Amino acid sequence: MTPVAPVRPQPRAAILEIDPYVPGKSHVAGLDKVHKLSSNESPLGPSPKAIQAVRALADRLELYPDGASTALREAIGRRYGLDPSRIICGNGSDELLALLAHVFLHPGEEGLYSQYGFLTYPICIRAAGGVPVVAEETDRTASVDAILEKVGARTKIVYLANPNNPTGTYIPYSEVKRLHAGLPEHALLVIDAAYAEYVTRNDYAAGLELAATAENVVMTRTFSKIHGLASLRVGWAYGSAHVIDALNRVRGPFNLNGAAQAAGLASLDDAAHIEGAIAHNTCWLPWLTEAAAKLGIEVTPSVGNFLLLTFPKQSGRTAAEADAFLSARGFILRAVASYGLPDSLRLSVGGEEANKGVIAALAEFMRGEGG
């Protein structure tokens, strides 16, 4: 008898075309102590004020949080000089990046992103029923010309991570403005500035001014990186009133949990902690860059809190072998083959012990010892 296929609910075909996002590894079997340098987390952790705020909340877990994250939005507004009614908080900026596609892409319309752009963009676009369109990069950096060449009548959303993950590269604000100027008014430019706080270049800006003045620009930010709150999931977006209004209609009614709101609020109140995290990165990013380059590893110049390391293709020195070698010694980096970068690994800036240790291990690997 021919087997009869069971009748069961079917997801839309586009959903099954999505390759699920694979986060950085956290563990190595058999090792108790590891240095997790795979997810661009803050080696300094959160502000003690944020920890205190979460502890204080433990006595009130039966209460729903403020669904509108009012106090947090007001504090972000004060910090950056923004109208809080044009800010929306999200369960991580991931949530907002996804909602933007759901809200602004009609089925079959195009969402654009650059070649090595953050991998959640194609997921967001596909999940919304849209068609992902990729623009080539130049020197692992987004190219405004290449993006504009791909823009057409069907383009409704353009994601730009600036700086970009996993490359660490950025485009100057003048280029972001040129990109915006070249987009049709119906296309929404999403500037994902998750790593903005780390950038120390004069020609960089996160996009506040464009998001404040243009109807078709929204900027997303996160508390996961510089604020060290990745576990709690706190992100936010700022844009024109009609964009924020649309997002507010579809977000979960209590999308930001109480601990996330309290910790976000408290960490904004700890300028010294944020300054410390910036100073740490400003010291160790160039140190790691130079040290890795001296070992014969190609390092893509980064302005974030991580580095893209590219290994030789020669057997015994490849990225896959380096990944295994480092993992066995307790250093977890991020393989980025899923980004089309099979010869590279991404290394997050860690604490002093991790940074010195990973460079020592890489030196051993590149000398061909202990393999």
What residue ranges bind ligand PLP (CB under 6 A)? 40, 92-94, 118, 161, 165, 192, 194, 222, 224, 230, 235
> Which residue is associated with the tokens 């994601």?
159
Determine the distance from the C-alpha atom of residue 2 to the mean position of all C-alpha atoms in its chain, rounded to a whole number. Answer: 49
CB of 199 to ligand PLP, least distance (A): 13
Closer residue to ligand PLP (CB): 99 or 187? 99
- The residues pairing with 334 across neighbouring beta strands, listed in sequence order, are 346
Cβ closest to ligand PLP, residue 65 vs residue 304: 304
Q: How far is the CB of 212 from ligand PLP (least distance, A)?
A: 20
Strands (E) in 206-245, as ranges, are 217-222, 235-239
Give the span between the Cα atoms of 215 and 35, in whole angstroms: 43
Q: Min. distance of Cβ 59 from ligand PLP in angstroms?
A: 27
Q: Which is nearer to ligand PLP, 155 or 220 (CB)?
A: 220
Residue of 181, 204, 199, 219 whose CA lies nearest to 82: 219
Nearest-CB residue for ligand PLP: 92
Q: How far is the CB of 92 from ligand PLP (least distance, A)?
A: 3
- As a whole number of angstroms, the distance between CA 158 and CA 219 comes to 12
Q: Torsions phi, psi of 220, nearest 5?
A: -110, 145
DSSP 8-state symbol, 18: P
Distant-in-sequence contacts of 16-20, Cβ < 8 A, 24+ apart = 17/126, 18/122, 18/123, 18/126, 18/127, 19/123, 19/338, 20/123
Closest approach of ligand PLP to the CB of residue 168, in Å: 10
Cβ-based nearer residue to ligand PLP, 193 or 366: 193
State the minimum distance, in angstroms, from the CB of residue 104 to ligand PLP: 18
Residue nearer to ligand PLP on the CB measure, 99 or 361: 99
| Nearest to ligand PLP of 194, 219 (CB atom) | 194
